[in-house]
Structure 1
Amino acid sequence: MINELPNGWVKTSLGKIAQLNMGQSPDGEFTNTNGDGLPLVGGAADFDNDKIKSSRFTSKPTKVSEEGDLILCIRATIGKVAFSDQSYCLGRGVAGLQSFVEPRWLYYKLQESAKKLDEAGTGSTFRQVDKKTLDEWPVDLPPAEEQKRIVSKIDTLFARSKSVNDNLNSIPKLIEKYKQGILGAAFDGNLTRAWRDLNNLSSAPVLKLQAVVLDFAYGTSSKSSPVGEIPVLRMGNIQDGKLNWDKLVYTSDPKEIKKYALSAGDVLFNRTNSAELVGKTALFDGEQEAIYAGYLIRIKCSEHLLPSYLTYCLNSPAGKAYCQRVKSDGINQSNINAKKLAAFQLPVPSIAEQIEIVRQIELAFEWINHLAYETSSANKLISHLNQAILSKGFTGELVKQNPKEVNAKALLENISRQMKAHVQPIRKKLPSVKQENKSMNRKLIDVLSDANDWISAQEAFKLCGVGKNATTEEIEPVYAELRSLDHQGYIEIETIRDTNGKKLFDQIKLNKKSDHAS
């Protein structure tokens, strides 16, 4: 049955196997980018896949995670998780988790739960999950030894999928290299050498582009609009040697439309762009009405030059090398004017051979484009495969259960005892208070440890035995301990004010870093 727990497992919640530490944004006055203080993790922007890459710091941290803790995104982009490789200040967009189970098991469990956690987020401006949701988040807990086997199996399978994914990610570069190889062979004569021999033809003459072109014309410099009658093609619409009809702008100006109207067979050359992209070219085949913008040059071919042949030639290694050689570099962009474009030299074989060259290029590209599509599909499958691995790992289907192992119920009881006793070692590490504190009913550090959150100073003193009618001798030991703890950084003190700025009361709590005091 789907809902039946595997042998030895037990149902529990996240708050019963991990200590939650909800983030709190530090005061902006103490936030900086020059490395002063602890690095600040505010949200998903500070994550780089499964690593923390923080760019901000704070000299007055609020909530702090320690090395080995997990940091979980709980706001806006919910569900990202990473291990804390050092101490970090936790902003309001994240929560820290100190795991009392196998840490990497919990890490993978949070990955497996990421989508559902995101769906559980609430809020209109920024969706987020609160402490109650996290604390009560359902967890099916396996025995301790099985957790380790699950982690080992997931690690192994993920390593394999990563290897496959890395290989797949290298294919697009190989595809581009292959395409450039085909284009290189097409315009140095090698692609159709056998065809020429079969037809008793000699090598093609090399001519300047201006000798076989009717016209070079710059596009419109008028401002376009988000809506209108006719699309205005810009440099961004030339992608991989083709026209991309996404992210269009428009014009409704009849004079502009008449002057810059494109005709089927026009070749569009990108004259101004970054140094890497200047010179990219696409063919307009008349699929819909359009005009062209000023960063493009429209080329009209003569009867001796096939537009598709010219497009492939300008996008070939020879065409790109020419563009890099003649471009004029400015600030953040390069330019190639019509005069330089007209001087480009290219082989101009017969129209019959140009047709054959285009046919062979497109035949080769059709096969390689299919491979690119299959690669993209495989990449998506890898992502689904990883999620399937996680799903099986946390339903008991990934590794075998061992009935001889201590079951998770006993483990959970042990964790409960550990979490309750977790504050005890802290007290041994905190500085001792003066001898006169023996007269107090309870020590302040004990009160704050039990509270485990903000508590008003008045209530804290009351729990220490200092009431309204307490004498100076009774109050002074508590203040002495308070000053000692504050001086050594073991507590935080916050003043609560009303909307007019009037002080209402002070509240106190233990600082996170006191957990690791020595």
Structure 2
Amino acid sequence: MSDELPPGWALTDIGSLGRYINGRGFKKEEWKKAGLPIIRIQNLNDESAQFNYSDQQHEGKYRVDDGDLLVAWAASLGVYVWNRGPAWLNQHIFRVEVEERAVTKPFLYYALKDALAGLYKKAHGSGMVHITKAKFNRHPISLPPLNEQKRIVSKIDELFSRIDEGERAMERVSKLVERYRQSVLKAAVTGELTRDWREARKAAGQPIESGEALLTRILTVRREAWENAELSKMQANGITPKDEAWKKRYVKPSEPSLTGLPILPEGWVWASLPMLCGVASTNGISVKGANAPPGIPALRLDALGDSGFDYAARRYIPIANSKAERLRIEAGDFFVSRANGSLALVGRAVLAQEPPELVVFPDTMIRYRPADELGVGYWLQRVWQSRLVREQIERKAKTTAGIYKISQGDIAEIAIPIPPSEERAAAISLIDQRLSQVESLSMEQGQSRKRAGALRQAILRSAFSGSLVSQHPEDEPASTLLQRIAVGRAEAKRTMPARGPKKKSR
């Protein structure tokens, strides 16, 4: 893109094109079951998300009506046009009073979408991001004449509608794929998938490991893994234990909550995630980073996918190598997202594949290290994708300031069905056989969505560089519009009543 603006255009900033009014910080005790809905970030990200309500009157600046332009500036960034009736606005969202002397609302909507894509790259945080109002207001925007703005919006709408049509078709297929995927996973986690396997074993007189024996073996392996890790630490520090007293530091793992869960097949057992790990879980690190070296590579939250990490989704953070080693991602590590603006994404998990180099993880993830001797890592990833686990997560997730969170304590209560080793191997084989084709289709659709997103960004870049539509010399230049705003604001300031002197307190 050339730095030279098209004829009639002017360079300005976001702040000059409107007033951006932050929502009110509603307290939890103010939430009611009736009144006007309170718009929180999750209500913008997910139209099915439940509202909280307020039956009180608040300042008019916090009221939102249909057609209002909203900008989420924390946790997840986004631009929205509200269309669900009168409501109150929560904090971390701007309501935009558009400066209509210089810009149309539809044009500003698209301009802000384009601007947020640039601001995201500079945003604070490695996962849950936010932008300061000062940086937001200062972000540059290339402004065309009003008539050209209308032509640009018309062309964007036309092109985006074609993309929308393709995405709707993909969404229909995605729903069918997910429905089939969940039916396979439900059969797997309830033991229905391996019913024939168990009956064949029983008919052949082959023994099936009891649930009690399996649980004992799991806990024995966990304790042995902990003891080995502790011995390694002591040896690294030059310490030789004189007796067995150090073993008393071992903390038994939390047991899962079994309320409302189905009955498992013979030989299966319920376990918690801490039961399956030989070392304690660990939160990641929160350090402001940059998009390029120098520094230690640290994943962003969006690196987490269903089939592994996207190791290219990273920032670079200034931490010591010794600290980076403690937070190094290793193949087989199991990561759970502990915070997200979407209820559907909080608690999402992934089994890490081998990283290409030393990479650490952000504080929006929790690391678990399943004991190698149990060989449950891949089963964990499959079970975690099922509705059985998902429903437990969503019941436990709590929301604060528009962010859904789940703690290590909550995760420790999640019940995970564990079949005996041989049956687990048989189940995994059957899952892979049945899901291999649909998961290939899902990956293709994921790539198609990325291409659609990239195409939208390319259209916006073209629009705001002046190359999407032609310029008309007779259009009133944008510089004239900006001058009109400056004069109007100066006049408003001049005629504003002067403040009286502050009264002295006695």
Q: What amino acid is aligned across from residue 216 of structure 1 in structure 2?
A: I
C-alpha separation between the residues in 2 aligned to 1:152 and 1:54?
33
Q: CA deviation at 1:379?
A: 1.7
Which of 214, 228, 239 does residue 206 from structure 2 map onto?
A: 214
**SS in structure 2 of the partner of residue 216 of structure 1:** coil
Which of 145, 154, 157 does residue 155 from structure 1 map onto?
A: 157
Assess if the C-alpha contact under 8 Å between 1:78 and 1:117 holds in 2.
Answer: no
Q: What amino acid is aligned across from residue 135 of structure 1 in structure 2?
A: N
Assess if the C-alpha contact under 8 Å between 2:38 and 2:53 holds in 1.
Answer: yes
Which of 454, 478, 484 does residue 408 from structure 1 map onto?
A: 478
Q: CA deviation at 1:105?
A: 0.8
Q: Which position in structure 1 is the counterpart of 2:68?
A: 69
Q: CA deviation at 1:50?
A: 8.8
C-alpha separation between the residues in 2 aligned to 1:418 and 1:120?
33
Q: Which position in structure 2 is the counterpart of 1:136?
A: 138
Q: Deviations over 1:415-467 (max 9, x none)?
A: 445556779xxxxxxxxxxxxxxxxxxxxxx98x557xxx6x645xxxxxxxx
Q: Which position in structure 2 is the counterpart of 1:59?
A: 56
The alignment's C-alpha RMSD in Å is 5.4
Q: CA deviation at 1:110?
A: 0.8
Q: Which position in structure 1 is the counterpart of 2:78?
A: 80
C-alpha separation between the residues in 2 aligned to 1:133 and 1:32?
32
Say if 2:395 is the partner of 1:397: no
Q: Cα gap change, 1:47/1:164 in structure 2, threshold over 3 Å: closer, same or farther?
A: same
Q: Which position in structure 2 is the counterpart of 1:20?
A: 20
C-alpha separation between the residues in 1 aligned to 2:442 and 2:127?
39
Instruction: Give the strand-richer structure, 1 or 2.
Output: 1
Q: Cα gap change, 1:160/1:83 in structure 2, threshold over 3 Å: closer, same or farther?
A: same
C-alpha separation between the residues in 1 aligned to 2:28 and 2:389?
42
Q: Cα gap change, 1:409/1:130 in structure 2, threshold over 3 Å: closer, same or farther?
A: same
**SS in structure 2 of the partner of residue 98 of structure 1:** strand
Q: CA deviation at 1:20?
A: 3.0
Assess if the C-alpha contact under 8 Å between 2:76 and 2:128 holds in 1.
Answer: no
Q: CA deviation at 1:25?
A: 2.6
C-alpha separation between the residues in 1 aligned to 2:126 and 2:181?
48
Q: CA deviation at 1:405?
A: 1.9
Unmatched runs of 5 consecutive residues or more in structure 1: 183-206, 279-292, 302-306, 316-360, 424-445, 460-467, 469-502, 506-518
Assess if the C-alpha contact under 8 Å between 1:215 and 1:299 holds in 2.
Answer: no
Q: CA deviation at 1:135?
A: 3.5
Q: Cα gap change, 1:374/1:250 in structure 2, threshold over 3 Å: closer, same or farther?
A: closer
Q: CA deviation at 1:158?
A: 1.8
Q: What amino acid is aligned across from residue 246 of structure 1 in structure 2?
A: F
Q: What amino acid is aligned across from residue 160 of structure 1 in structure 2?
A: R
Q: Deviations over 1:109-155 (max 9, x none)?
A: 11111133345556999965444434333221111111111111222
Matches within 5 A, 1:358-507: 369-416=439-486, 449-450=496-497, 458-459=501-502
C-alpha separation between the residues in 2 aligned to 1:418 and 1:277?
55
Q: What percentage of aligned pairs have identical amino acids?
A: 23
Number of aligned positions between the proteins: 331
Q: Deviations over 1:171-222 (max 9, x none)?
A: 345557889999xxxxxxxxxxxxxxxxxxxxxxxx7552146222132156
C-alpha separation between the residues in 1 aligned to 2:52 and 2:207?
52
Q: Which moved more, 1:14-23 or 1:103-112?
A: 14-23
**SS in structure 2 of the partner of residue 12 of structure 1:** strand
Q: What amino acid is aligned across from residue 207 of structure 2 in structure 1?
A: D
C-alpha separation between the residues in 2 aligned to 1:127 and 1:176?
29
**SS in structure 2 of the partner of residue 47 of structure 1:** helix
Q: CA deviation at 1:402?
A: 1.7
**SS in structure 2 of the partner of residue 96 of structure 1:** strand
Q: Which position in structure 2 is the counterpart of 1:146?
A: 148
Q: CA deviation at 1:3?
A: 0.5
**SS in structure 1 of the partner of residue 107 of structure 2:** helix
Q: CA deviation at 1:167?
A: 2.0
Task: Tell me the TM-score normalised to structure 1 length.
Answer: 0.50
Q: Cα gap change, 1:250/1:118 in structure 2, threshold over 3 Å: closer, same or farther?
A: closer
Q: Deviations over 1:31-86 (max 9, x none)?
A: 223234x5434x53342269997524362524424433322223x32632222445
Which of 114, 117, 122 does residue 115 from structure 1 map onto?
A: 117
Assess if the C-alpha contact under 8 Å between 1:225 and 1:250 holds in 2.
Answer: no
Q: What amino acid is aligned across from residue 385 of structure 1 in structure 2?
A: L
Q: Cα gap change, 1:385/1:124 in structure 2, threshold over 3 Å: closer, same or farther?
A: closer
Say if 2:417 is the partner of 1:295: yes
Matches within 5 A, 1:149-228: 149-175=151-177, 210-212=202-204, 214-217=206-209, 218=211, 219-220=214-215, 224=222, 228=226
Assess if the C-alpha contact under 8 Å between 1:46 and 1:53 holds in 2.
Answer: yes
Q: CA deviation at 1:249?
A: 4.6
Unmatched runs of 5 consecutive residues or more in structure 2: 185-198, 230-268, 277-305, 307-331, 336-367, 392-414
